[in-house]
Amino acid sequence: MTIGRVTQRMLTQGSLDSVQGGLARLARVQEQLTTGRVLNRPSDNPTDTTAAMRVRTAIGNQEQYARNAQDGLGWLTQIDSTLGQVTDSVRKARDLALAGANSGALNQVARDALATEVEVLRQGIVGSANATYLDRPVFGGITSGDRAYDDAGTYVGTVGDVNRRIADGVLVKVDVDGLDVFGTGATSVFAELDALSTALRTGDNAAVSTAIQQLTTRIDTVVSARTAAGAIYERVDKAVQAATDAELALSNDLSVLENADLAATTVELQLAEVAYQASLAATSRVLQPSLVDFLR
């Protein structure tokens, strides 16, 4: 049977290590309770720290997707409102053309009044074609200026898509091409209204009939564009909710990784305190005897 030799130095060192370990445990638990977090530095848990960093990156991405989608909703809301006004104006112009086509019931003074009203509607549609969101024309593509059309009804914007990334790998076009809605130059709604105004003033019934057909087709074009924009709005609106839900779920995951369970940590603090006091008591008993005490 072999008996290991235990020296006073070994007892002293072991006791001091035990006391120091208990004190370190108390300090760790006290820090967790004070901060409410189990991860206060990477060395606390390198694996969970890496996971928390990945979750934080994912949360940042979802927040950016939500901001992108909200910006897209701003564009689409402006487009929807503007196209509604344009539809009403074009319909009004067609109604005026229908009234002007009844040459037997109207004299030239009345037809001139109709022409003036058509010209006012045209000016309003020019303003609608230059509608902006955050100082950018919503029908002007990627133009850097604030106008998509000049006063003559000519497109002066820069053709291009305005896209917003609303999810990982998902880009959505949030603008409407002004050329598709209003046309440009001789093929624009502005030229059609100019022709209608001229026809009313000159009493050209054939030209008035042609304008009626053109404006009927133009109404269909505007309504179609508005419907397409509405469908995109619905998609982007759902993307906002999806990004918000994903951000909430990731925040919960992050809370599990980083935040302390206060009830469990409080119990651990009590256990650590009891263990530390026991360690101090045992150490005082072990280190107390000395040669002087023995000789007494």
In a domain, 289, yes or no: no
| CA–CA separation, 225 and 190 (whole Å) | 18
In a domain, 273, yes or no: no
In a domain, 146, yes or no: yes
Q: Is residue 295 pLDDT above 70, yes or no?
A: no
DSSP H/E element including 167? strand 163-167
What are the pLDDT digits (tens) for 214-273? 999 999 999 999 999 999 999 999 999 999 999 999 999 999 999 999 999 999 999 999
| Mean pLDDT within 137-146 | 92
Count of structural domains, the chain: 1
Calculate helix-pair angle for 189-202, 205-258, nearest 10 degrees: 150
- 182: containing domain: 75-241
The CATH number of the domain holding residue 178 is 1.20.1330.10
74 conformational bin, left if phi > 0, alpha if psi -120 to 50, beta if neither: alpha
| CA–CA separation, 90 and 217 (whole Å) | 10
- Between 122 and 7, whose confidence is greater? 122
In a domain, 186, yes or no: yes
Return the pLDDT at 74. 97
Residues whose CB falls within 8 Å of the CB of residue 289, separated by 6 or more in sequence, listed in order: none
What are the pLDDT digits (tens) for 144-177? 888 999 999 999 999 999 999 999 999 999 999 9
Q: Which two tokens stand for residue 171?
A: 């880009």
What are the pLDDT digits (tens) for 35-46? 999 999 999 999
In a domain, 268, yes or no: no
In a domain, 121, yes or no: yes
* Burial class of residue 134 (count of CB atoms within 10 Å of its CB; 0-12, 13-18, 19+): exposed
Contact (Cβ atoms closer than 8 angstroms) between residue 172 and residue 163 = yes
| CA–CA separation, 178 and 149 (whole Å) | 9
103 falls in which pLDDT band (50, 70, 90)? low
In a domain, 81, yes or no: yes
In a domain, 100, yes or no: yes
Residues whose CB falls within 8 Å of the CB of residue 203, separated by 6 or more in sequence, listed in order: 103, 108, 111
102 falls in which pLDDT band (50, 70, 90)? confident
| CA–CA separation, 237 and 215 (whole Å) | 32
